[in-house]
């Protein structure tokens, strides 16, 4: 997460902006639920095959090294997850010494869902929370989705140099053609995970994507809340939002974690991760990514939502 300043996460009385954010989220969920109940796919379950918590924790432990070593490790993890050389590539990034790392899971249509997280980190600490925790989930989400045929093509991207001003995501988004932008139904960004249960940066996220995540969380009986962190900095989803691609940022930063000064300090270590919360976030995002396969398929319109009842593990 690109940090602008160290200040209060919430301003006003009694974390007022957080309360207003949650109210906005609940209103959004209520409005969109009407559309969900009339879906053509109401009986179709969410199909995905998550890896075990042991695998998730093992991959999280591979954070060691500089950013080049992290990029190499992420490539190895994608390969181990089944993303072969034909579908695993590098994108050289202007202004960066390291590339974006890209794994493609082909679908049966030209529609696209992007799932991204940056793998770079600041010198202070080990950069596990920010953001190896996000990057390390990319191969595992790929693995959860690959067992079922997908309509969408999923593009998993490990972004370089987010901490230097979102260099990798900016380059990727700016080099997308108009046709590629039009074909992209969603961009899911993961940044700063494992400090708490799953959270949404709602002010930086598309309302329909927020509603879809809330629905999946409800079906799975997993926690999700909205915590805006506009006072702190920015993240990679901004580059896609600026190109009018529906985007969502998933994180775990709370006022408590912010006050503990974990991000961008020597305290950013694996010991800061709440492993059960981290695994629940993985399960939720994997099911969510599978659910997004229903975007635009029924209606042909970007942002159209699928069913309201699913079976999710």
Three-state secondary structure string covering 227-246? CCCCCCEECCHHHHHCCCCC
Q: What share of the chain is helix, strand, coil (3-state, %, to 5)?
A: 40, 15, 45
162 contacts 118 by C-beta, under 8 angstroms: yes
Q: How far apart, in whole angstroms, are the C-alpha atoms of residue 297 and residue 305?
A: 9
**Domain at 94, CATH number:** 3.40.630.10
Q: Chain centroid to CA 184: how far?
A: 15
* Structural domain contains residue 2: no
Q: How far apart, in whole angstroms, are the C-alpha atoms of residue 154 and residue 109?
A: 11
* Structural domain contains residue 6: no
pLDDT of the residue at 103: 98
Minimal CA–CA distance to 113: which of 86, 75, 152, 142?
A: 152
User: Which positions ≥6 away from 51 have C-beta within 8 Å?
Assistant: 140, 143, 144
* Structural domain contains residue 308: no
pLDDT of the residue at 308: 33
pLDDT of the residue at 257: 86
* Structural domain contains residue 9: no
pLDDT of the residue at 25: 53
pLDDT of the residue at 299: 40
Structural domain boundaries, residue 231: 20-37+44-294
Specify the DSSP class assigned to residue 269: S
Query: How much is the pTM?
Result: 0.87
The region, left, alpha or beta by phi > 0 then psi within -120 to 50, assigned to residue 65 is left
* Structural domain contains residue 100: yes
* Structural domain contains residue 282: yes
pLDDT of the residue at 39: 47
Main-chain phi, psi angles of 278, to 5 degrees? -60, -45
* Structural domain contains residue 276: yes
Is 161 in a helix, a strand, or coil?
Answer: coil
**Total of domains in the chain:** 1
Q: Which pair of tokens denotes residue 307?
A: 């069913």
pLDDT of the residue at 43: 54
* Structural domain contains residue 304: no
Query: Across the chain, where does the E strand assignment appear?
Result: 2-3, 88-91, 100-105, 112-118, 153-159, 184-190, 199-200, 225-226, 233-234, 247-251
pLDDT of the residue at 310: 39
H or E segment and range at residue 279: helix 275-291
What pLDDT tens digit does each residue of the chain (313 aa) get?
666 554 455 443 334 334 444 445 544 554 454 355 434 344 568 999 999 999 999 999 999 999 999 999 999 999 999 999 999 999 999 999 999 999 999 999 999 999 999 999 999 999 999 999 999 999 999 999 999 999 999 999 999 999 888 999 999 999 999 999 999 999 999 999 999 999 999 999 999 999 999 999 999 999 999 999 887 778 899 999 999 999 999 999 988 888 999 999 999 999 999 999 999 999 999 999 999 998 764 444 444 444 433 345 5
pLDDT of the residue at 10: 44
H or E segment and range at residue 169: helix 167-174
pLDDT of the residue at 313: 53
Give the torsion through C-alpha atoms of 155, 240, 207, 105, to 10 deg.
0
């Amino acid at each position: 997460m690109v940090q602008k300043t160290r200040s209060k996460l919430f301003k006003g009385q009694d974390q007022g902006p957080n309360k207003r954010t949650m109210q906005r989220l609940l209103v959004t969920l209520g409005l969109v639920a009407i559309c969900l109940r009339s879906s053509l796919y109401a009986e179709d379950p969410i199909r995905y095959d998550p890896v075990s918590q042991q695998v998730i924790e093992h991959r999280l432990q591979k954070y060691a090294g500089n950013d080049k070593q992290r990029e190499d490790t992420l490539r190895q993890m994608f390969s181990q997850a089944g993303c072969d050389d034909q579908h695993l590539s590098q994108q050289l990034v202007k202004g960066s010494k390291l590339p974006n790392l890209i794994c493609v899971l082909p679908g049966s249509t030209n529609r696209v869902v992007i799932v991204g997280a940056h793998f770079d980190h600041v010198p202070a600490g080990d950069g596990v929370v920010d953001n190896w925790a996000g990057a390390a989930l990319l191969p595992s989400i790929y693995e959860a989705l690959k067992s079922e045929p997908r309509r969408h093509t999923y593009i998993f991207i490990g972004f370089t140099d987010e901490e230097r001003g979102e260099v990798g995501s900016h380059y990727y988004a700016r080099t997308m053609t108009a046709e590629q932008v039009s074909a992209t139904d969603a961009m899911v960004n993961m940044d700063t995970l494992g400090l708490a249960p799953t959270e949404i940066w709602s002010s930086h996220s598309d309302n329909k994507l927020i509603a879809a995540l809330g629905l999946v969380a409800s079906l799975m009986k997993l926690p999700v809340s909205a915590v805006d962190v506009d006072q702190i900095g920015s993240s990679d989803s901004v580059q896609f939002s600026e190109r009018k691609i529906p985007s969502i940022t998933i994180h775990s930063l709370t006022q408590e974690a912010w006050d503990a000064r974990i991000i961008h300090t020597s305290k950013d270590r694996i010991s800061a991760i709440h492993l059960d919360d981290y695994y629940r976030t993985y399960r939720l995002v994997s099911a969510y990514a599978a659910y997004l396969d229903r975007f635009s398929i029924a209606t042909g319109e970007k942002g159209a939502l699928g069913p309201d009842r699913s079976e999710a593990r």
